[in-house]
Every structure is written in structure tokens, then in C-alpha cells.
Amino acid sequence: MIDSELFDVKTAILGGGLSGVTLARLLAQKGVEVTVLEREPNFGGLCRSVLDSGFTFDIGGSHIIFSRDAQVLTFMNDMLPQNSQRNCRSAKIFYKGQYIKYPFENGLNQLPKDDLFFCINEFIKTLIAVEKGKLPSPGNFREWIIHTFGKGIADLYLIPYNEKIWKFPTEQMSLHWVEGRIPRPPVEDMIKSAIGIETEGYTHQSVFSYPRKGGIEALVKSIASPVKKFIRTGFNVSSVRKEGEQYLISDGDNIIIADSCISTIPLQRLLESLENVPESVRKSCNELKYNSIACVFIGVRGKLQDISWMYVPDKELGLFNRVSFPSNYSPDVAPAGHSAILAEITYHEGDGVSEMPDRKIIDHVIKALKNMNIIKDREDIVYTALQRHRFAYVIYDLDYQKNIAVVKDFCAKLGIGLVGRFSEFEYLNMDGCIRNAMNFVRNINEG
């Protein structure tokens, strides 16, 4: 590489999504010299938003700000002092043509009577069997769902929905990530829900905030503001080589020499850029499962129902698993008198959706939303667009824990820090990414 330009930096951060810019900000606050290397023309990753024709859409799917982690929630809210709208969640499940309150177990009395009986009867039967020790402990995600909610809620909603979003059989998924995180709903709440007394589930998310202007990207932009000058966009990391105690990082044209290297890019991409990766490590990395997403953006004339977002478990209704209504989070994301709709379709590379042209996917979504009476008239549509992302959700299959341990161990030996959703290869929301960036910086300080 005779023509390459060489740059010396202290800490190189690979990837300028939320994790990369948060790390940069926190490290810079500690006086560490950082450079963020981001391959796209704009930083923000899955948290970017597109402003077009008066509409603002989150390109990585609909995003809201919420957290159980008080420190992280304060951090996020502090980033948007004048630009935040608080909303009460009004999420639904579109079930047999009706809107059922979300979470499903909190909306049981809205179900047809037979379905309500099936859900509550199976819940109680399961509860008794578990209490008597007659039900073996679950060994996979599907069994965990049945064990926790009973066969009724499992068959009518949780299994079809989960299989629609993950595009993966639930019996081939691990349960390590849900066990202990989602408790069995209290029996009192189930009875209340069945007879129509209001109950609330996932209360940490029942009130959420959203930037008034600029979409979710406003959050990353604000986090990045003190370190913007250290973000180098258009730098597609294609090789990372350790020489002595330093890292040589290249995009094919330029070489960055760094004293330390933290990766927030997908593990698969990091491994592609490393030399001499043992076959066993490559194999484990290749076996890690994830899915991709197509996000369909639709702008319509007029006002829509006051629903934040809805889950659509039924495969027959449409390819999308979730449809959100961002103009109900902030009126400023659509022109006056208009509304915004964002439909999310997950898929795997090589499957039917991955091969469908964008226009066909958009037409499918419009037709399905018209059948569901969400779009009243095609004439109301004033804007459509679509964005795809290869890395959308980590899928925890049964071999996940074995494979991820091999890959992380290899990266640790190289001294490359891993922070972020696809770098740690964990189901991290924004709060999880920020928490892990905070912990990473704290550990460096203590180390």
C-alpha cells in the first residue's frame, strides 16, 4: 500500500452507531484521544433517521426511549433537554381483526370468549402443574413460553408472534436470555385481565419518550456533539492487524495506527477483517444467527387511530410483524394534516423477502394495511420508501452460548474490546448499548 496515508491515534473505535459515539463521548470525557471509524457517510447506525418530504422516519425501525436502568434513562433524557416528547404507550396486538391491549396477557378480556377461556384455563392448569412439580423445567424458548404463560397464550399469540419476528423455530432457540428476565404474570393480574379490570404489563415501557424533532437520530447526534470532529465517516474497516502492541486498521486506502482498538461493528465483519483467524473461530462466528429487516415508510393524508404501535402475529395478514405510527409519538415527524406509518419485516438472506424487489414489498404492505382498514384509500398515500439492514436482531439459537464464547475469547486474546449490539452479539436495546459503553469505560479506568 505505497500510496496509503498513515494516521496515529490513541484509541480507535470501529463503527459509529450509538455504541461507538457513546464510547467516544465517555472516553473523551476521561481525556482519552479517540477516533471513530464509520463506513457510512453518516454516523448513527440503526439509530439514524431520514428526513424527506416533510416526514421523518427512523431507518432502523421504529425506536422509542425507555429503560429500567435509571442512570441510563437519565443520560438519554438529558441529551434531549428541549427536544423530547413524553408519551403514554398505547400498544396493541392485531388479533382476529380486533385491537387487543399489549402485552397480550393484559388484554385477555378483549379476546373472543373461547380464546379467553383457553388462555386462562391453560394458564391455571400450567401453574398448578408447575407448583406440584409435574412439569419438567423448560429446555428451550418454546417450552419456556408454555411453562410461563400456558398453552393458550402460547398458541394464540406468543409462539406465532415470536416465530414471525425471529423467522426461527422457537424450539430451536435458547431460553438463557428470557429466564429470570420475564417473570410469570401474577395470577391476580391474569384474573383481573380476564374479567376486564385494567392491569399494566412491562411498566418500564408504559411511558416512553421520543425526540420531538429529528427522529431517534436526534439522540445520537446529541451524544456525538462534543466528539463529532473525531468521527471519520466513509471509512470501511477492511483489515485490522496487530503488530506488537499496536493495531493497524485500514479501509484499503488509509492506515490508522492505534494503541487500542474497540469494535462496535458486527462480529462477522470484524472477523472478516482479521488475519490468521483459526478455522474453529471462523466456524463458530459463521454459526451465530441473526436476521435482517426491511423497514417500509408510508406517509398518508389525515389522522390515524391513536395507537403507538401494533404487533401482527398472523402470517396471513401480512409479512410485517410490527407496524408503528411515529406521528403519534411526535406530531413533528409528519407534515400538518398527515400521518406516518412504519412497517417492519424481518427476513433471512436468501429467503423470499430478501429476493423481493423493494417496490413489491411496499405494495404488499399497502395492500395488507388497506385490508386491515388502517389505510382507508390508496389516494391518501403521499410518500413511500424502504430501507433494508442486514443486521437487525441477534437470534439466540441453542448453540449460541457455545459459539459466542469461542469468538469472544479469540477477540479478548487480541485485546480488541467489544461493545454494542452486534459486536457483543447480544439482544441490546439502546439502553443496553449505553450501559455497556459506560461499564466498558469504567473498567478501563479501574484496570
What are the residues binding ligand FAD (CB under 6 A)?
Answer: 14-20, 37-40, 45-47, 60-61, 63-64, 236-237, 264-265, 269, 293, 344, 391-393, 420-422, 428-431, 433
Q: How far is the CB of 225 from ligand FAD (least distance, A)?
A: 17
Q: How far is the CB of 16 from ligand FAD (least distance, A)?
A: 5
Give the C-alpha separation, 113 to 126, whole Å: 20
Give the C-alpha separation, 266 to 182, whole Å: 27
Give the C-alpha separation, 278 to 196, whole Å: 58
Give the C-alpha separation, 89 to 62, whole Å: 14
The single-letter code of the amino acid at 32 is V
Q: How far is the CB of 14 from ligand FAD (least distance, A)?
A: 6
Q: How far is the CB of 92 from ligand FAD (least distance, A)?
A: 16
- Closest to ligand FAD by CB, 104 or 425: 425
Q: How far is the CB of 53 from ligand FAD (least distance, A)?
A: 22
- Closest to ligand FAD by CB, 249 or 281: 249
Q: How far is the CB of 130 from ligand FAD (least distance, A)?
A: 32
Task: Please check whether residue 150 is in contact with residue 122, taking contact to mean a CB–CB distance below 8 angstroms.
Answer: yes
The single-letter code of the amino acid at 52 is D
Q: Which of 175, 172, 206, 1 is nearest to 91 (CA)?
A: 206
Give the C-alpha separation, 389 to 315, whole Å: 21
- Closest to ligand FAD by CB, 110 or 308: 308
Q: State which H helix or E strand residue 297 sits in.
A: strand 289-301
- Closest to ligand FAD by CB, 20 or 107: 20
Cis, peptide link before residue 138, omega less than 30° from 0 = no
- Closest to ligand FAD by CB, 68 or 413: 68
Q: How far is the CB of 430 from ligand FAD (least distance, A)?
A: 3
Please state at what angle helix 217-224 crosses helix 18-29, rounded to 10 degrees.
20
Task: Please check whether residue 437 is in contact with residue 419, taking contact to mean a CB–CB distance below 8 angstroms.
Answer: yes
- Closest to ligand FAD by CB, 105 or 431: 431
- Closest to ligand FAD by CB, 247 or 393: 393
